[in-house]
Structure 1
Amino acid sequence: MDRYVFFIIIGFLSGSILYSWLLPKIFCHVDVTKYSRDHNPGTANAMKYAGVGMGSVCLLCDVGKGFVPVFVAAQQLERTGVLFSLLIAAPVAGHAFSPWKKGKGGKAIATAFGVLLALLPYSYVVLILAASYLFFSLVLVINPHRLRTIVSFFVLCAAAYLLKINIFIVYACLLISGIVIIKNLTPEENEAKQWRLLGRKLF
């Protein structure tokens, strides 16, 4: 139990480092939370306001900070139990509720991909999430992006349950999805909602 708690703490602290806010501020003198409408310290705003190069570095860091602690833990611990579920979700919680920004962290999408990627080859849930994003970006296109994210994470949970994946990984998916969905609930000002199927507007 002590080792699980250790990795939960390490994962949360790793996730709490907001690279997409910190790196542009240090190297580009840009605070992405002040320039952006949603004030989100995330990868998309780093790309938009600090450039593709810096944004790409931030993306790797945000994915990596979720991947590394979960990957290391998965090699050393039994991949069962509720504590393992909490361990998987810890970096996502750290990013979303970073203590270094008084609990006002990012939307945690990149970090969520990182922690799920770390479960390969034991679980392929990251492929479900990636496929959902691609489907709702290219086939049944949902705008704005925050709604696409909410639907994609709902699909992740439903598919993980229906495919009878390791129940503790299902619990982790529920925790992660709950965090990400909560962080994406607030609409932006003058937000336009649209669903298109193969280019044809549905509503």
Structure 2
Amino acid sequence: MTTLARALVMATMACQVAGSADHLHLAAIRCQTRLVEAILDHDASLVNRDLHFGRTALFFIIESGLCPDEATREDLVQNLIARGASVHVRQRNVDLTPLHYAAFYHQAGVAEILLRAEPLLATATDFLGRHVLHFAIWPNQGVSSSEEFRLPLFRLFSDTLPVLFDMPSLCPSFPSPRTTARLLGYKRVERLFNASRWVH
């Protein structure tokens, strides 16, 4: 295949991929606030349109590594919720909510916004019975694994829903967050769990 033919094939494939993706989701991935607002001003019904296994723009903003800072991400999340974005939406096949994503990416500010919109979201579990703190405690690629990075998310739950600290998942590979903190050597997280006013 010649270089020109290869370039044409690549360009055609790129157009097909770009044509299949929703503009709102692309703007969300890039954390382009004005573009997200302009698209929703034009068609507000897109706010809960799902793409890629039930993920809405809210999921894409939370997981985006392209946001210039957390304040921009949090403003976008608040804006979407104000425009009617559902915080109850679940990713198909795995039952993850936007709050699971916020926990996975250790975004305490976003988690707080989501919980203000729907406090009961904290009790949501995925298809393996894992709740948000299971996602917050486990190390993941691309996100800092330091204990300090995790503390704000755990503080958010320490006095509001500490029962989650001891709740195991349905999968034996995922013990309770308190047990996991002990296994990973997260002393400050473990102390936070133990200092909770609800500890029994």
Q: Larger % of strand: which?
A: 1
Q: Which has the higher contact order (CA 8 A, sep 6+)?
A: 1
**Greater CA radius of gyration, 1 or 2?**
2
Q: Larger % of helix: which?
A: 1
